[in-house]
Chains A and B, each alone.
Chain A
Amino acid sequence: MPVEETIVNSLEGFAVFGDTISPDGAISAADMLSKYEAMEEGDTLEVKFLSVIENVCQAKGCWMNLELSDEEFAYIRFKDYGFFMPLNSSGSEAVAEGKAFVSVRSVEALQHDAEDEGLSAEEIAAITEPEVTYSFTAHGVLIKE
């Protein structure tokens, strides 16, 4: 499904995607990681956090990974497939607001995203196990300009 009801406005210093949210009150990536570590599959948490975009779906911008630490990431999708990220926003600071949860992602889903990320056939084939994922459905995202 394509973009629907995409709203992109502007806040001072930020590009706004989805709902117009405020950066005020966003917790750090480290705090977000602590919250994820305390969660189990099925738990959800409404939260807003600030981090750096690790990578973005290169097909549409329909998902991104936000850094939680050097090795951990939050896998972000966007509410109702309603807005997408810029394809060239990797490395940018971003605030995401929405629902955090822990999920198990299938091999097929992981391979599909790896393909959209532009990974090689060998790298995609090397994905053979489901993965516990720190997931997030954002209703609004700010990207620092």
Chain B
Amino acid sequence: MKYWLLLGCALLLLSCNESSTEELKVEEVAMEDKKDFEMYEVSEMSAIMQHMYQLNEQLKERIESGEELGSFSVSFERMLNAKMTNDKPMDDFFKTHAETFLANQRSIYENPAQAKELYNEAINSCIACHEVKCTGPITKIEKLFIK
């Protein structure tokens, strides 16, 4: 049985300050599925995390090349209310770390002269939460660091 499994269309166009780069990618997966494999369906939180990853990849490039940074994307704030995988409750640990991450992310745009250091601090705050909540993507997140 052949079918298409839609993995990525979880979010709408997020409100944006960087309009051309704010659309989430929609990813489709084709699979010859003789075993009726049951695949994970991307949660709202996962989609936001992916979106933030993409924007930080772009921000990294801008910092490295000395381009104009643009402005903080308010779409990031959706992480404070998004549904987590398997509808897990959002605990205080996550909320505290999410606020720290958002504050760090905002500070990059408020202090462009220190963008590299503040950007790396934001990525560190991201990893600090993932070390407790979900270690899987840490290796990938580490690739965002500016060396």
Binding site for B on A (CB under 8 A): 1-10, 15, 59-63, 77, 80-82, 84, 86-89, 92, 108-109, 112, 137, 143, 145
Contacts and interface: CB of A to CB of B under 8 A. Distances in A.
B1 to A, nearest CB: 11
Contact of A6 (B7, B131, B135, B143): B7
Nearest to A82: B140
The 8 closest A-B pairs by CB, nearest first: A2-B46, A86-B37, A1-B137, A10-B32, A145-B34, A81-B137, A8-B31, A60-B40
A10 B139 CA distance: 27
B114 interface: no
18 contacts: A2-B50, A3-B7, A4-B53, A6-B7, A6-B27, A15-B32, A15-B35, A59-B86, A60-B40, A61-B40, A63-B136, A81-B139, A84-B39, A84-B40, A86-B37, A88-B36, A89-B37, A109-B135
Contacts of B141: 1
Interface in B71-103: 85-86
Interface string B17-39: 00000000001011111111111
Contacts of B53: 1, 4
B42 A77 contact: no
B140 A81 contact: yes
Contacts of A60: 40, 46, 85, 136
Contacts of B49: 1-2
Given A1-B136, A61-B39, 16 more contacts: A2-B42, A2-B46, A2-B47, A3-B27, A3-B50, A6-B7, A9-B30, A61-B40, A63-B136, A81-B136, A86-B38, A86-B39, A89-B35, A108-B131, A112-B132, A112-B134
Interface residues of B, number: 36
Contacts of A87: 38-40
B112 interface: no
B32 A80 contact: no
Q: Taking each of B32, B49, B141, which has the highest tally of chain A beta carbons within 10 Å of its own beta carbon?
A: B32
A108 B136 CA distance: 13
A10 B37 contact: no
A10 B85 contact: no
